[in-house]
A = this chain, B = another copy of it.
Amino acid sequence: MVSPVGISMLGSGNVGGGVVAALNAASNRYERSVGRPLQLRQVLVRDLARQRDGLTASQLTTSFDDLISDEGTQIVVELMGGEEPAYEYIARALASGRDVVTANKEVMAKHGAKLLALAAEHEVRLLYEASVGGGIPIISPLSRDLLANEVSALTAIINGTTNFMLTAMADGGVDYKDVLAEAQRLGYAEPDPTADVEGFDASYKLAILCGLAFGLELFPEEIERQGISLLASQDFIYAAELGYTIKLLARARLDDGHLIASVCPTLIYHDEPLAKVDGVLNAVEIEGNLVGHVLFEGPGAGPTPTASAVLADVLALARDIVADRRPLAVTPLIPAQVLPSASHKSRFYIRLTVPDQAGVLAQIAGALGERGVSIASVLQFEADDLDDAAELVLTTYLAERGAVNDALKQIEEAQFVQRIGNLMPIAGLGGAR
């Protein structure tokens, strides 16, 4: 008689439901590839009374202590989300000798290095493919398939909610508030959309990717972060006029030993592969010294794509358990030397509302020029909703963000402009720094 590989699960929301459905539907196939059946033993839930597809009442528990004392559980799958109590439960599962699979980007971004060290200490494994990019294989390719490379840069669209919104704004000339309401209606955005639209979610994921790509420990709060809520429909029109699309890009690169990491709405040339990643899709582009550029694209969220990644990790662990394979050594992360955002060099897009009078552009150019910021192009548009005013869109040559910020502050204080509408980096063409 073959004893099964025992799995218990923390949380039973949408992704959990996807995992349960797949475990039930494909049990024979999974048994063939693992060599033993997989058995779902216990599921930690909040409400015992709620009916859950594919689970019997005896599999449900509200007590983590009960779940973790189950001797038959070899793999713990954490799908609760949020920092606590998920972090505590993952740590306790690892310390109790269980392998753990998690989809939790927040826990991995904030506590990943500690948890991976804890796993190594207890000779167990912590896998987290589902924490970035939903169903797209990205953690494992970075850990294994690109390991021979020195990674120099990564550029990613890793938040489906904002990419859906930006795609709709680029297509339709709709404004931010309307598209947010639409995303909420479709279930792509939360009632409180802050984590997505302000870039927190993407910064968690970027921190995780930096650990894998560069071997560097980067905390989410060290990442320059700019949300999409300042974007207006005209930004998309002006960007298109200049040949660009606007995407919330998560970017990281090494420059002379410093890590430059940012999550910002960014102008990207319309012909770049990432410019064409639309809707809720995610994509990650990696630049390595051997491979050049590789791109991974697919569904970045959703119950079944996320279940695909969770179960890939579960199957990998189960295969290792059956073959009695020990965990590989984990190379500890080195703290990142993070370049402050004021020193980030980029080309920039600046939208200003200016009085419709002579001399304004000269004053603005002067303020920028004093700080070494050269203007690359100027577009002036009539503003429908403003009298005696116009919208001015400037792009700069390569400049430091701090210098641009200082110049804009001076421009604002000197009242050369009525309003500073938006400031965004432009990717590529010498602007990647």
Which A residues contact B (CB, under 8 angstroms)?
Answer: 18, 22, 26, 29-30, 32-33, 35, 129, 135-137, 140-141, 144-150, 273, 276, 288-299, 302, 304-305, 307-309, 311-312, 314-316, 319-320, 322-329, 331
Tell me which of A18, A144, A276 has the highest count of chain B C-beta atoms within 10 A of its own C-beta: A144
Known contacts A297-B273, A304-B291; is-contact A146 B150 (Cβ 8 Å): no
Check if A148 sits within 8 Å of B294, measured CB to CB. Answer: no
Q: Which residue of B lies closest to A322 (CB)?
A: B329
Tell me which of A29, A144, A145, A297 has the highest count of chain B C-beta atoms within 10 A of its own C-beta: A145
Check if A147 sits within 8 Å of B295, measured CB to CB. Answer: no
Check if A148 sits within 8 Å of B324, measured CB to CB. Answer: no
Residues of B within 8 A of A308 (CB): 146, 148-149, 288, 290-291
Tell me which of A30, A297, A315 has the highest count of chain B C-beta atoms within 10 A of its own C-beta: A297
Known contacts A308-B146, A328-B325, A329-B323; is-contact A295 B297 (Cβ 8 Å): yes
How far in angstroms is the closest Cβ of chain B from A73? 20
Residues of B within 8 A of A329 (CB): 35, 319, 322-323
Check if A292 sits within 8 Å of B312, measured CB to CB. Answer: no
Q: Which residue of B lies closest to A307 (CB)?
A: B290
Residues of B within 8 A of A319 (CB): 328-329
Check if B293 sits within 8 Å of A298, measured CB to CB. Answer: yes
Known contacts A291-B298, A299-B293; is-contact A145 B137 (Cβ 8 Å): yes
How far in angstroms is the closest Cβ of chain B from A292? 5
Q: Which residue of B lies closest to A141 (CB)?
A: B137
Residues of B within 8 A of A147 (CB): 33, 311-312, 315-316
Given A140-B144, A294-B297, A320-B328, 6 more pairs with CB closer than 8 A: A137-B141, A147-B311, A148-B307, A291-B299, A323-B329, A324-B326
Determine the distance from Cα of A219 to Cα of B293 in the docked complex, in whole angstroms: 31
Determine the distance from Cα of A141 to Cα of B144 in the docked complex, in whole angstroms: 10
How far in angstroms is the closest Cβ of chain B from A423? 30
Residues of B within 8 A of A30 (CB): 148
Q: Which residue of B lies closest to A315 (CB)?
A: B147
Residues of B within 8 A of A295 (CB): 295-298
How far in angstroms is the closest Cβ of chain B from A311? 3
Check if A304 sits within 8 Å of B292, measured CB to CB. Answer: yes
Known contacts A148-B22, A149-B308, A290-B311; is-contact A32 B331 (Cβ 8 Å): yes
Check if A298 sits within 8 Å of B294, measured CB to CB. Answer: yes
Determine the distance from Cα of A11 to Cα of B328 in the docked complex, in whole angstroms: 30
How far in angstroms is the closest Cβ of chain B from A213? 13
Determine the distance from Cα of A295 to Cα of B276 in the docked complex, in whole angstroms: 13
Residues of B within 8 A of A297 (CB): 273, 294-297
How far in angstroms is the closest Cβ of chain B from A36? 11
Determine the distance from Cα of A323 to Cα of B120 in the docked complex, in whole angstroms: 13
Q: Which residue of B lies closest to A292 (CB)?
A: B299
Residues of B within 8 A of A32 (CB): 331
Determine the distance from Cα of A126 to Cα of B35 in the docked complex, in whole angstroms: 20
- Among B146, B273, B312, point to the contact of A144 (Cβ < 8 A): B312
Known contacts A312-B146, A312-B147; is-contact A304 B328 (Cβ 8 Å): no
- Among B273, B292, B294, B326, point to the contact of A137 (Cβ < 8 A): B294
Determine the distance from Cα of A150 to Cα of B307 in the docked complex, in whole angstroms: 13
Determine the distance from Cα of A308 to Cα of B316 in the docked complex, in whole angstroms: 23
How far in angstroms is the closest Cβ of chain B from A99? 15
Q: Which residue of B lies closest to A30 (CB)?
A: B148
Determine the distance from Cα of A129 to Cα of B322 in the docked complex, in whole angstroms: 24
Tell me which of A148, A314, A323 has the highest count of chain B C-beta atoms within 10 A of its own C-beta: A148
> Would you mind naming 11 contact pairs between A and B with Cβ atoms under 8 Å apart?
A22-B148, A136-B291, A141-B145, A146-B312, A148-B307, A148-B315, A276-B276, A294-B296, A294-B299, A295-B297, A297-B297
Determine the distance from Cα of A66 to Cα of B18 in the docked complex, in whole angstroms: 54
How far in angstroms is the closest Cβ of chain B from A26? 7
How far in angstroms is the closest Cβ of chain B from A375? 33
Known contacts A140-B141, A147-B312, A273-B297; is-contact A305 B290 (Cβ 8 Å): yes
